[in-house]
Structure 1
């Protein structure tokens, strides 16, 4: 009996540690303040985007080179800084798009603590900045990568946009946590639920989901589930040999550009 109670105490202790540490597991702040020229995109300018609650977020901005050109707003994943996404947005600038690459408030010296509410507030600041430049909603593409897909879904569900691109998305953080921490009933412990399933049906813009079939961090069934719940028009591309972080190596920008061309034109 003592053994049982001891094992139970250890189990409860492990769950308590997971609960207390969950944001440290989910968010990985990076205080680097990268310069666009150092990452091969000198056509971009480092700016600060203000949020409604007073934070000044680092972002890289390349205005659309011609009136009516699309603008892509890029919401990155949970780790690393925006300079590490330069290779992922270069093709879109080469295609004539404007691009806003946003850093969340807990990065790049912006201050603030990460949470779902904080990231969604940062997303709204990015949307407001682009619209303040006179960009019509139908010319805005919201692009989410990994954790950033939840921000992109939330923005597309509440703003007029022209297209949505989700790279390695998940249905909800609660379900993804349950997949990884099945032994801890993790779905009931998650604070930042990022419930994209609850929002995906509110998106009216064309949707593209791209996922690697070998993705172990966010298995492709999560992207498929989200895709299945979305309204048309929608497309999904499951890349046979791709994992979580190497979709760029399998022609991701070309897939995205073809999709955008079909729905927004050149």
Structure 2
């Protein structure tokens, strides 16, 4: 799958690395899916490359590394200032394609939701495994995440093990939580959440759906785990097909699947 490396600049000056995949043969060249990863991930990961490849069968793809991750500069603010990174990628995509849909995973999903609500400018949004609320500590994995983010030793460990650079200063002010702003999204919204998500249980997806405005859909995938690691090729293809339908015009719900 051919990809063109792109260097973007967020509105606050942070350098953002991205890759633009032209639409594959038979895909819609007018549609671009802007793909954002979860915390400690990057677009060089095998799982994200597989997802990009599946999405690319339907549309062009612009995949970015958020600040403090992968090949991008800056420090991660764990979903706060990253909406500026996503805006830079959306603007890049919109200059080249008629329709733009954002697709985010975990932290990237919370960024996509907040970006669509606070900045807009996209034709549809897909949220996969997003937290609904901040400071969630009711699962063991999320207690570990908080230790990594809030403790100096934890930040050093993540930088060494995952090459993720986290800003030492916490949120000030605290950004709007996804459930607080999701009702302001004015385009079609798809919320995907796994029934076996070890980080954020399904009630996070349900709360987001409850607070969102129509047109909206909720896919609760009973056997799915968390975010990009648990996103199969089949689910990626379904997401891309939903995005194409959503960007094309009035959206009908996905047809029921056998079984």
TM category, shorter: 0.7 to 0.9
Aligned to 1:140: 100
Say if 2:53 is the partner of 1:107: no
Per mean C-alpha deviation after superposition, the further-off stretch among 116-125 and 143-152 is 116-125
Q: Distance in 1 between matches of 2:22 and 2:86?
A: 18
User: Would the alpha carbon gap of residues 214 and 44 (structure 1) be closer, same or farther in structure 2, given more than 3 Å must change?
Assistant: same
Say if 2:5 is the partner of 1:46: yes
Q: Residues 127-206 of structure 1 correspond to what in structure 2 (within 5 A)?
A: 127-131=90-94, 133-136=95-98, 139-157=99-117, 158-174=119-135, 176-177=136-137, 191=171, 193=175, 195-206=177-188
| Structure 2 spans left out of the alignment, 5+ residues | 151-169, 250-259
Aligned to 1:213: 195
Contact 1:164 1:207 survives alignment (8 Å): yes
Give 2:41's match in structure 1, choosing from 52, 77, 80: 80
User: Would the alpha carbon gap of residues 89 and 68 (structure 1) be closer, same or farther in structure 2, given more than 3 Å must change?
Assistant: closer
Contact 1:49 1:59 survives alignment (8 Å): yes
Q: Whose Rg is larger? A: 1
Contact 2:139 2:198 survives alignment (8 Å): no
- Paired residue total: 215
Give 1:229's match in structure 2, choosing from 211, 216, 240: 211
User: Would the alpha carbon gap of residues 141 and 109 (structure 1) be closer, same or farther in structure 2, given more than 3 Å must change?
Assistant: closer
- Encode CA deviations 1:55-95: one digit per residue, 9 max, x unaligned: 22111112457886211111110012212111011122112
User: Would the alpha carbon gap of residues 194 and 86 (structure 1) be closer, same or farther in structure 2, given more than 3 Å must change?
Assistant: farther
Contact 1:71 1:100 survives alignment (8 Å): yes
Q: Residues 51-66 of structure 1 correspond to what in structure 2 (within 5 A)?
A: 51-64=10-23
Contact 1:72 1:140 survives alignment (8 Å): yes
Deviation of 1:104 after TM superposition, in Å, equals 1.3
| Structure (1 or 2) with the greater helix fraction | 1
TM-score normalized by the length of structure 1: 0.72
Contact 1:173 1:193 survives alignment (8 Å): no
SS of 1:154's equivalent in the other structure is: helix
TM-score normalized by the length of structure 2: 0.73
Deviation of 1:178 after TM superposition, in Å, equals 5.7
Contact 1:242 1:250 survives alignment (8 Å): no
Q: What's the RMSD between the two structures over aligned residues?
A: 2.7
Highest relative contact order (Cα 8 Å, sep 6+), 1 or 2? 2
User: Would the alpha carbon gap of residues 254 and 127 (structure 1) be closer, same or farther in structure 2, given more than 3 Å must change?
Assistant: closer
User: Would the alpha carbon gap of residues 129 and 165 (structure 1) be closer, same or farther in structure 2, given more than 3 Å must change?
Assistant: same
Contact 1:150 1:194 survives alignment (8 Å): no
User: Would the alpha carbon gap of residues 73 and 261 (structure 1) be closer, same or farther in structure 2, given more than 3 Å must change?
Assistant: closer
Contact 2:50 2:233 survives alignment (8 Å): no
